[in-house]
Structure 1
Amino acid sequence: MIARIIAAAFGGYALAALASVAPLALPVDVSQAVLAGMLASFAVYAAAVIWVFAARSAARAWGGLLAAAVPLLLAAGKVWLAGAA
């Protein structure tokens, strides 16, 4: 149960943070992307918490969070690397 709580708190937060940055990679105005990312992060965090406690095991919960984080990390990485250049 502790692993699920940690996954919900920290894994959900990390997923929501990635979801808030990823829309900046879209070809839209920056202000719209920021607003979309902020709104999406609340839904992503809630969905992550629900997923963690609905999964059959803690390992499956972590795996689901990781699977959802990979495409978001790719989009967010593109934004971060473009900002560094």
Structure 2
Amino acid sequence: MSTSPVGAHSGRARAYRFAVAARVLLASAGGYGIAASASALLAVVLPGTRAEAVSAALIASFAIMAAVVIWVFAARTVGRAALVLGIVAALLTVTLWLAGAFQTGSFT
């Protein structure tokens, strides 16, 4: 005979489903944001012609997205994953700004 009420099991299942849904959303949106920012940074800083740098950055973005998705699901908590992705996104944005990517005419 079970000592736990039916509502407690339902609450745990609901919390687990919410955590998985949050990780899926974080992995897809955060992974896309990190991959796009890293790709833009690589396109700006890689040597060679512009076409070669953009192509290499685009290819690298697929690996970056996959790594972010794997890491989000491997993180201990959803909050920790969100915090780390936020810090990485902020660092990439600052680095892009320092590299001059936000100046008018920098991609011409």
| TM-score where L is the length of structure 1 | 0.83
User: For residue 31 of structure 1, what is the aligned residue in structure 2?
Assistant: 51
Structure 1 stretches lacking a partner, 5+ long: none
Residue 96 (structure 2) pairs with residue 76 (structure 1):
yes
Offset of 1:18 from its aligned partner? 0.6
| TM-score where L is the length of structure 2 | 0.67
Structure 2 stretches lacking a partner, 5+ long: 1-19
Distance of 1:40 and 1:51 partners within structure 2: 17
Backbone CA RMSD of aligned residues = 1.8
Report Cα offsets for 1:31-67 as digits up to 9, x if no partner: 2220121011101100110010000000111112122
Query: If you compute each CA radius of gyration, which structure gives the higher value, 1 or 2?
Result: 2
Greater share of residues in helix: 1
When structure 1 is superposed on structure 2, of 18-27 and 75-84 the one drifting more is 75-84
When structure 1 is superposed on structure 2, of 65-74 and 52-61 the one drifting more is 65-74
Higher relative contact order (CA 8 A, sep 6+): 1
Aligned residue-pair number: 84
Letter in 2 for 1:47: A
